[in-house]
């Protein structure tokens, strides 16, 4: 069994001591849940173990959550269904855990709205690295860097960087996950430039080693379904063969007073 406790005498400190991240672990295996909770708690995170989807709903109504770690195989409602439900009303990162390690399984998990996917058995350091990467990206998306505008516009669409809101040309709000927001804001900062998958991962403040090659492609497909007029012939996010992707619209800065 992996030792998830810090070394004796080691100094345990939260990554952000001013605001320890709060996360929910949805895992029905008590041994795995205990190890994960012990390891993350030892690094200063607030972790609550949840056995199933119903308890998850109740827990999220009580307090805000920074991250959900979600097992795929659960009694009753499975992790894919829970993730799809979460995405209808929540934007926090979701890290999916599963014993199913095939690429098709990982793509299905990401298409359901997960931000990352980790296969069991996993090394504690890898879990910690992915948690940190997801939280870092989420924290970066909730406030624009000081030298950036508050809003971007393109083809009638408006992206609010401060509140992570996207508005369509008819002024309807379009929900985005934290990963989708990070990707779209990256495209808005680098319009009309060919960006490789590695470029996109780095610009999104993610860990390239923590994401397999198809993850960006799946995320692109999710974003296209929200901003393209025809996903079969995308005109805004185009694929550049053997190179990556290019965001074609002209992007301009806007004031928050222009938002709906």
Domain that holds residue 217: 151-258
Q: Is 48 exposed, middle or buried (0-12, 13-18, 19+ CB in 10 A)?
A: middle
* Percent of the chain's residues with pLDDT above 70: 81
Q: Are both 179 and 217 inside the same structural domain? A: yes
What is the widest separation between alpha-carbon atoms in the chain? 59
> What's residue 170's pLDDT?
93
Q: Are both 125 and 167 inside the same structural domain? A: no
CATH number, domain of 38, equals: 3.40.50.2300
The domain boundary residue, chosen from 98, 120, 140: 140
The domain boundary residue, chosen from 140, 173, 203: 140
Q: Are both 98 and 158 inside the same structural domain? A: no
Q: Are both 203 and 172 inside the same structural domain? A: yes
Q: What is the 3-state secondary structure (H, E, C) of the chain?
A: CCCCCCCCCCCCCCCCCCCCCEEEEECCCHHHHHHHHHHHHHCCCEEEEECCHHHHHHHHHHCCCCEEEEECCCCCCCHHHHHHHHHCCCCCCEEEEECCCCHHHHHHHHHCCCCEEEECCCCHHHHHHHHHHHHHHHHHHCCCCCCCCCEEEECCEEEECCCCEEECCCCCEECCCHHHHHHHHHHHHCCCCEECHHHHHHHCCCCHHHCCCHHHHHHHHHHHHHHCCCCCCCCCEEEECCCEEEECCCCEEECHHHCC
Determine, yes or no, domain membership for 123: yes
The domain boundary residue, chosen from 114, 140, 166: 140
Nearest CA to 112 out of 129, 94, 97, 99 is that of 94
Determine, yes or no, domain membership for 146: no
Q: Are both 36 and 135 inside the same structural domain? A: yes
Q: Are both 129 and 199 inside the same structural domain? A: no
Best mean pLDDT range from 72-81, 119-128, 149-158, 241-250:
241-250
Alpha carbon of residue 138 to chain centroid:
7
Q: Are both 95 and 162 inside the same structural domain? A: no
Q: Are both 157 and 136 inside the same structural domain? A: no
Domain count for the chain, please give it.
Answer: 2
Q: Are both 181 and 132 inside the same structural domain? A: no
Q: Are both 37 and 136 inside the same structural domain? A: yes
Q: Are both 112 and 155 inside the same structural domain? A: no
Determine, yes or no, domain membership for 8: no
Q: What is the pLDDT of residues 195-245, one digit of tens each?
A: 998 888 777 765 443 444 567 888 899 999 999 999 999 999 999 998 999
Determine, yes or no, domain membership for 7: no
Determine, yes or no, domain membership for 4: no
CATH number, domain of 237, equals: 1.10.10.10
CA-angle at 152, arms to 192 and 256, nearest 5°: 170
Q: Are both 158 and 184 inside the same structural domain? A: yes
Q: What is the pLDDT of residues 232-246, one digit of tens each?
A: 999 999 999 989 999
Determine, yes or no, domain membership for 12: no
Alpha carbon of residue 54 to chain centroid:
22
Q: What is the pLDDT of residues 23-71, one digit of tens each?
A: 999 998 888 899 999 999 999 999 999 888 888 988 888 888 899 999 9
């Amino acid at each position: 069994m992996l030792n998830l406790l810090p070394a004796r005498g080691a100094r345990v400190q939260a990554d952000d001591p001013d605001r320890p991240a709060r996360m929910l672990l949805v895992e029905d295996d008590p041994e795995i849940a205990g190890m994960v909770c012990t390891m993350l708690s030892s690094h200063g995170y607030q972790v609550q173990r949840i056995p199933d989807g119903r308890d998850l709903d109740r827990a999220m109504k009580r307090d805000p959550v920074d991250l959900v770690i979600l097992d795929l195989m659960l009694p009753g409602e499975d992790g894919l269904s829970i993730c799809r439900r979460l995405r209808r009303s929540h934007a926090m990162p979701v890290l999916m855990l599963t014993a199913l390690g095939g690429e098709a399984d990982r793509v299905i998990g990401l298409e359901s709205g997960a931000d990352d996917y980790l296969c069991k058995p996993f090394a504690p350091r890898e879990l910690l690295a992915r948690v940190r990467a997801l939280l870092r990206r989420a924290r970066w998306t909730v406030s624009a860097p000081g030298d950036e505008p508050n809003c971007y516009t393109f083809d009638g669409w408006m992206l609010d960087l401060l509140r992570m809101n996207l508005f369509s040309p008819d002024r309807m709000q379009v929900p985005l996950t934290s990963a989708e927001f990070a990707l779209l804001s990256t495209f808005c900062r680098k319009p009309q430039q060919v960006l490789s998958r590695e470029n996109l991962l780095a610009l999104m403040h993610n860990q390239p080693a923590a994401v397999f090659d198809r993850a960006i492609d799946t995320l692109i497909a999710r974003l296209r379904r929200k901003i393209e007029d025809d996903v079969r012939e995308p005109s805004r996010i185009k694929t550049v063969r053997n190179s990556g992707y290019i965001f074609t619209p002209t992007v301009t800065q806007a004031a928050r007073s222009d938002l709906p």
